[in-house]
Structure 1
Amino acid sequence: MAQGVRDAMAWRYGSDKNPAKPLARRLLRTSASVRGALRRAEKRQAAGERLSESELWILDNCRLLRSANREAHEAVKSFRKLPSVFSPQNESVLTPRAYMVALGFLKAVDFQYHQQDLALYLEGIQQVESLQVKELWALKPALQLGMLEQIAADAEEGAENGNRPTQKSAGAESRASGRVRNVISSLRALGEDNWKEFFEDHSATERVLREDPSGTYPLMDYDSRDLYRRAVEEFASQSLFSEEEVARTAVLLARRAKAHAKRHDSRMSARRADLGYYLIAEGSRLLKRRLGCRPPLMAKLRQMILDWPEIYYIVGVELTTIGLVFVLLRSLGIAIPLIPGLLLLIPASHAAVGLVNRLTTFLIPPRRLPKLDFSEGVPPD
């Protein structure tokens, strides 16, 4: 825990549109090194040459390494919008904070991963600065990248020492192979751990959301809780508040609604005392005003459609119909558009309805409804 506190206090923050670019380049170099180590080991094995212990470990676990490499590649794009800090190795380069957390932890435990050790390290980090929801999810691929980098470095060292077998190089090869063995074991343990449970246990935002005055949030299933967390992420990205502060503001609004509940309107009062009312329902407008959210243009357009659905649909169909008729008449070169225009209204209106429906499904994707978790049975109450 103490090491986590020290590492977090040493960070210097910066702003970069895409701090994941240097990380992506590192991943490409690491991938090339790991693939090169695999090819060398396979070639040497086919030639009947003596393989170092590092190479044997890499060959025996090639599927695991390829799988971890693939997962890291898929996740590195999501690092683009994460908070970034200056790397201690190169203070002119910004690195996603999640990767710095992963690398700091791996160095602190000498690349011998255990989830309980990561929990203690994170506790120290979050005493200084709470991590965002996306950062916690980015920890697994960040740890995979850090481990792959170490394996690539140790594999090269082991191969070099294996090629010139002296007493000194034999000791170096033994140390390198020991590290490769430990890192591969850690990589396997990393993939076997329950990350959903770990994430919820160590998310500051999750702890605040579980204070839901209605008591509903902890009873929901994982996907529904994730729906609330994504709403918190969205509001935080549109305001100057952190995710934890957004969640706390929503809980505060729900508590106030519960305190001022009206007996004659118990159903509406109970609804307003529910956290979801402010995160994914009508109360989100109040929460956005309280936070001073500035949504992007597309979000504003979606909200306008939801606010005036009848006007959007009717006017949209009419304007699209008129536009289609006009385009068809112009293409036919008809000078007197009245009668041909009337004849084209019916097919054009059908086409317009289809176009507006397609546009609507594009602008307003289907929303998942929250649900309670009854996987262990329905409670008696």
Structure 2
Amino acid sequence: MKSLLHPVFERRAAFSPWNSDEILRAELFSIERLEQHAASLAAAQQVVQRPRLRPSLHARLRDNETVLLAAYRAIAAATGEGRAISPAAEWLLDNYHLVEKQIREIRQDLPPSFYRLLPKLRDGPFEGYPRVLGVAWAFVAHTDSRFDPESLRCFVRAYQRVQPLTIGELWAVAITLRVVLVENLRRAAARIVSSRAARQGADALADRLLGVNGYTAEPDALLRRDTDRRSFPPAFTVQLLQRLRDQDPRVTPALHWLEELLAAQGTTADAIVRDEQQRQGASNVTVRNLITSMRLLSDVDWPEFFESVSLVDDLLRSGSDFAALDFPTRDLYRRAIERFARGSKLTELEIAAAALAAANEYDATGDGHGDCRRTDPGYYLIANGQPAFEATIGYRNPRFTWPGRFVLAAGVGNYLAAIAVVGCTALSLPLFVLNAWSTPGAHLVLLALLGLIPSLDVAIALVNRAVM
């Protein structure tokens, strides 16, 4: 069985976005080209109802965290020894606390329950991963990791002109941007460490070849040790070339051997030095952009961004007084639309349109003396019009949502009563256990007073979760 499944898993691994260690950096696009690319990406990406099982983003995040921490410690050790470090390494060293913050926020904002609801891609390198991850990946790649809210706004809007994103996906844009930025920084950090190790290896070899820093000269050390090698890491080659240049070729035959090897590969010493300098310069810019973008992400008003790109919001604003509502109420409308879309065959936009149609139909047939609440889509989304609206859209109510529906139907008084019951239960259970252990009454009273507010917080969270 394992041998039969092996080619399947091999195929999936071959298309994994995590296979490459190359820094995520593609052609730099203008706003117009970004919008064109977003449209073509939307046309190409297709979601699937039952995606293939892939390792979660949290598994990759843990791996990235390990690599970044190791890189940070290696760079810190180098500076502690008085060694010079590159600008990219300095950016990472000085801002590692910001990287840790990004990782914490990803874990906090992308719980498994939310991750499961995000539409997954049917095929391509991101097969089985959230569609919005592919959107964020493309944006980061074609901006060289330089975040700009307006560019992102244009990119997301251009994507949705071809294929709408769900409400959950739009909320996940910020999270997946952080995921991709951390991924790219991991790749840059790994390159920093590997290049540094290669340069140190070249220095150690050069010391032997030249007989310096306590070594006895071994002019043929490279030839004797690496006769089977046909290539070296660019950082190693450049460092060795720089150490051996301006030396007597009779004393250092390795330089001539190295130049012949490069010629056989179709390049020259000057070309490989130039390419490595350009590569290092580009890495410095990318790491600077990554750190700056991570800082900017924390300053963005993401609720405002969400509402500026949400097609559901656009539709509700155009057909009702949705914009005049406060943000929590608008969010209640959106949550209801998400729930109805999950429990019916309609999309979120179709649910919003149906609620508007119901409100407009009542407004058109009324005589002006009816229930004015029925002229608002919220009446059908979150109020007494829900049951009839659910029947209209073919909504099938999941059995586990009955507590929330009961509380909503019972009104505010019973909503508060539900909070009180849950809060008292949460508070009384540990007190009951402590009382069974013969805890003094004064201690129980003190613990009850201290636990009152936390118990109410838990109760509010649980009841709200049931209601939503």
Q: Tell me the TM-score normalised to structure 1 length.
A: 0.75
8 Å CA contact 1:20–1:79 kept in 2: the answer is: no
2:342 to 218, 221, 237: 237
One of 65, 84, 102 as aligned partner of 2:136: 102
Output aligned runs, 1:292-303, within 5 Å: 292-300=394-402, 302-303=404-405
C-alpha distance in 1 between matches for 2:156 and 2:176: 14
Matched, 1:7 2:30: no
How many residue pairs end up in the alignment? 313
Gaps of 5+ in 2: 1-34, 200-234, 239-272, 412-416, 418-455
The match for 1:318 is none
Q: What are structure 1's unaligned runs of at least 5 residues?
A: 314-357, 370-381
Structure 1 counterpart of 2:463: 365
User: CA separation of 1:14/1:364 partners in 2, compared to 1, >3 Å: closer, same or farther?
Assistant: closer
> How far did residue 150 of structure 1 move?
0.9
In structure 1, what is the equivalent of residue 285 of structure 2?
Answer: 178
Q: 2:317 aligns with which of 210, 224, 248?
A: 210
Aligned match of 2:66 = 32
Distance 1:364 1:184, change over 3 A: closer
Amino acid at match of 1:287: F
Structure-2 change in CA distance of 1:211 and 1:172 (3 Å): closer
Of 119, 124, 139, the residue aligned with 1:88 is 124
In structure 2, what is the Cα distance between the partners aligned to 1:190 and 1:308?
A: 41
Query: How does the TM-score come out when normalised to structure 2?
Result: 0.62
1:347 alignment partner in structure 2 = none
Distance 1:87 1:143, change over 3 A: farther
1:170 deviates by 4.0
Contact 2:404 2:463 in 1 (8 A): no
Instruction: Name the SS of the counterpart of 1:80 in structure 2.
Output: helix
Relative distance call for 1:303 and 1:226 in structure 2 (3 A) is closer
Partner of 2:381: 279
Offset of 1:302 from its aligned partner?
A: 4.7
Residue by residue over 1:80-135, the C-alpha shift from the partner in whole angstroms, topping out at 9 and shown as x without a partner, is 21101146336xx4110111111111112222221111112112210121111111
Q: CA deviation at 1:21?
A: 3.8
Matches within 5 A, 1:106-125: 106-125=140-159
For the residues of structure 1 that align with 2:134 and 2:286, how far apart are their CA atoms? 21
Change (3 A) 1:364 1:169: closer
1:256 to 2:361 alignment: yes
Query: How many Å separate the matches in 1 of 2:408 and 2:78?
Result: 65
- Counterpart-to-counterpart distance in 1, 2:410 and 2:291: 57
Letter in 1 for 2:374: R
Describe the shift of the 1:87–1:46 C-alpha distance in structure 2 as closer, same or farther (beyond 3 A): farther
> Which residue does the alignment assign to 2:248?
none
Residues 10-159 of structure 1: matches in 2 within 5 Å?
10-16=44-50, 21-77=55-111, 78-86=114-122, 88-89=124-125, 93-159=127-193
1:199 corresponding residue in structure 2: 306
Amino acid at match of 1:276: G
Over the aligned positions, Cα root-mean-square deviation in angstroms equals: 2.8
**C-alpha separation in 1, matches of 2:287 and 2:280:** 10
Confirm or deny: 8 A CA contact 1:23 1:76 kept in the other structure: no
Change (3 A) 1:295 1:39: same
The question of 1:219 aligning with 2:324 is answered: yes
Q: Does the 8 Å CA contact 2:146/2:289 hold for their aligned counterparts?
A: yes
Q: SS at 2:338's partner residue?
A: helix
- In structure 1, C-alpha distance between the alignment counterparts of 2:460 and 2:148, rounded to whole Å: 44
Amino acid at match of 1:282: N
> Alpha-carbon deviation of 1:305?
6.9
Deviations, residues 40-66 of structure 1 (Å, cap 9, x unaligned): 112222222222222100111112111
Matches of 1:149 and 1:363, distance apart in 2: 33
Q: Which one of the candidate residues 160, 164, 177 is aligned to 2:194?
A: 160
Q: Partner residue of 1:246?
A: 351
* Cα separation, partners in 2 of 1:99 and 1:160, compared to 1, 3 Å: same
8 Å Cα contact 1:155/1:176 also seen in 2? no
Taking the aligned partners of 2:63 and 2:50, their CA distance within structure 1 comes to: 22
